[in-house]
A and B are shown apart, each in its own frame.
Chain A
Amino acid sequence: MSDQPDTATEPNPLEEYAAGIAERLGAEGSSAEFDTVRVDVARDKWVETINEARKELPFFSWLSAIDWSKDTDVGEGVANPDELEERFEVMCRLSSVENGDGAIFFTTLSKDDASIGSLTATIGGAEWHEREAHEMFGINFDGNKNLVPLYLPDDFLGNPLLKSYPLIAREVKPWPGDVDVEGLPETDEEGDAS
């Protein structure tokens, strides 16, 4: 419940699990918030770490990226723009197929040099995920031989999931659903659920 005290300070078995993975793989750091195991990996060790990790977590679930940007044309932006270091985070989730174990591996790319090794040599399923991240964020995956657009037309300009990329459809035509939306009572933040 929302008014109960924060339990995050108690020892957390998941955090120990995450730290264990990070130690075995020689990763840079780990955390486990909200039951989500996160392992931070150096960019130049990305491919070998993922391949090593697959020995205990063989299931390739997905790969994607986050654009951390101050320049947000859509949505609300980050909580503290002043402290934000602009970067890309590439993330890849692997999991076990015997129990609920799993971890998301993160690595950081600078915006000037957004390229990283490709996982396609050992993980066939990574090809489409990398193509998607390539067209949506402009991240280059060295070694992916088929880095052509997946969803978008071949002549599409820009990388739509960048925070600086405007949601053009909404600028041409305001969201038609707007007319049906009841105005939010800004003062009544702790109001009831009904």
Chain B
Amino acid sequence: MTSREMMHRSEVAVSVELETPDMTLNIGPQHPSTHGVLRLVAKVDGERITEVEPVIGYMHRGYEKLSEVRTYAQITTLVNRIDWVSGFANEVPFILGVEKLMDIEAPERAQWIRLILSELFRISSHLVFMSSYPLELGATTPLMHVLREREYILELIEGVTGGRFHPNFNRVGGVKPNYGGGSQTKKQSMDLPAGFFKSTLEAMDRMDQICDDIDTLVTGNELIKARTVDVGIIPGDKAIEYGLSGPNLRASGVAYDLRKVENYLPYDQVEFDVISRTGGDCYDRYLVRLDEIRESVKILRQAIDIIPAGPLQVKVPRILKVPVGQVYSRAENPKGEFGYYIVSEGGKMPYRLKIRSTSFSNLTILPWVLKDQLIPDLVAIMGSLDFVLGDVDR
């Protein structure tokens, strides 16, 4: 194991053959590159990782157990906090599942508002990636630049939902009524805030601009390319076997997007492309996300054009009792397939709620993809998978 080809690229010039016995290296749980509290126990031979065992669970909050003692309305508060950079996108499949069990359909305008907020959260989530990933690779400028632009998206979200990260805005049968302290006696709900469409369109122009800026700052950057091109290649069949979804799957040549194949929200009424690339390396995963921001901008411009007027809620019983049944409901979260298997036994609380969280499945490939990689590439590969530890640990 001491041959030259096993040595780090930068050490190749050193002509002395050094003994590099196996060593166990602990990375984390508190480490800036781990996006939360993730520990990696890596066996290394010199600079090369021979085996890695991720240790998760530091943030396990037992949401599946807690859901068994919460009513359906209270569970949306919990699921907001699973993947906190895309809170609203976690609510959507849960609410759609409950609506399916209860045979309720939300009014059209509510569906469009759900779509608009989902896409805003997709942009917001991808912008977090666009700011943190270059930072992990050593570029500090994009962090401030991109996070500033993200504020425009968060302001829009705050204007509608009242919250920046945890909107808790979905209700069974529609979206949150009486926003802004409306009267309890009036049965109408207040609508989107005044000027929302205008400020969204302005923000979308800014998003186009920031995508071009990111292109200038990051995409063509020699150093970024050297760190990411052909690093951490995941072939399509491996991605499928490990249940990778979202941009991670699409970067491996599998153009699979639930917005196209799953019949939910009016995504069939807007035009957008499924972004996919074939390389499967870190650079492609980055590029897929960048182009998805542009697609989301496209979707939002159309949605604002199409969104019909109308009520935001249908009448539902005050106490939600969900009929006996089991449903699997899934949606395209910014990070991939997010789903809930809801088992109802006719009560006010689910009998069992299985949460299929995206980052958990996306992270299962870590031992496979990090094997035989170099320590300096570890951060580049982990960062490119874009996971949130709250989503992994649930």
Contacts and interface: CB of A to CB of B under 8 A. Distances in A.
Interface residues of A, number: 58
Interface string B244-280: 0000010000101010011100000000000000000
Interface string A14-45: 00000000000000000001111010000000
A144 B85 CA distance: 33
A1 B326 CA distance: 18
A193 B361 contact: no
Contacts of B325: 33-34
B225 interface: no
B219 interface: no
Residue of B189, B243, B393 most packed against chain A (CB within 10 A): B243
A1 B314 contact: yes
A193 B65 contact: no
A183 B235 CA distance: 54
Interface in A111-156: 123-125, 127-129, 136, 149-153
A104 B328 contact: yes
A74 B65 contact: yes
B21 interface: no
B214 interface: no
B361 A61 contact: yes
A35 B264 CA distance: 12
A153 B261 CA distance: 39
Contacts of A129: 364
B379 interface: no
A136 B66 CA distance: 13
B242 A77 contact: no
Contacts of B9: none
Contact of B243 (A61, A98, A160, A189): A61
Interface stretch (B30-38, B97-105, B155-163, B281-289): B97-105
At the interface, is chain A mostly helix, strand, loop or mixed? loop
A9 B241 CA distance: 37
A124 B368 contact: yes
A79 interface: yes
B60 A125 contact: no
B193 interface: no
Nearest to B356: A62
Interface residues of B, number: 71
A193 B343 contact: no
B243 A193 contact: no
Interface in A160-177: 160-161, 165, 167, 170, 175, 177
Contacts of B341: 64, 91, 93, 104
Given A79-B324, A97-B254, A124 B314 contact: no
Contacts of A35: 100, 327
B318 A189 contact: yes
Interface stretch (B141-149, B195-203, B295-303, B345-353): B345-353
A75 interface: yes
A194 B187 contact: yes
A74 B68 contact: yes
Contacts of B350: 75
A192 B349 CA distance: 20
Nearest to A177: B74
B263 A100 contact: yes
B252 to A, nearest CB: 10
Contact of A61 (B315, B337, B346): B337
B56 A193 contact: no
B286 to A, nearest CB: 22
A47 interface: no
A172 to B, nearest CB: 14
Interface in B350-394: 350-352, 354, 356, 360-361, 364-365, 368, 393
The 6 closest A-B pairs by CB, nearest first: A151-B57, A125-B242, A191-B318, A76-B347, A75-B68, A34-B327
Given A124-B365, A193-B315, 20 more contacts: A4-B103, A33-B326, A59-B243, A59-B256, A62-B339, A67-B352, A74-B68, A76-B348, A76-B349, A79-B324, A99-B261, A124-B364, A125-B361, A127-B364, A151-B393, A170-B69, A189-B317, A190-B318, A192-B318, A194-B187
6 contacts: A2-B316, A76-B348, A98-B261, A99-B261, A150-B56, A186-B319
Interface of B: 56-57, 60, 62, 64-66, 68-69, 74, 100-105, 171, 173-174, 177-178, 184, 186-187, 189, 237-238, 240-243, 249, 254, 256, 258, 261-263, 313-319, 321, 324-328, 337, 339, 341, 343, 345-352, 354, 356, 360-361, 364-365, 368, 393
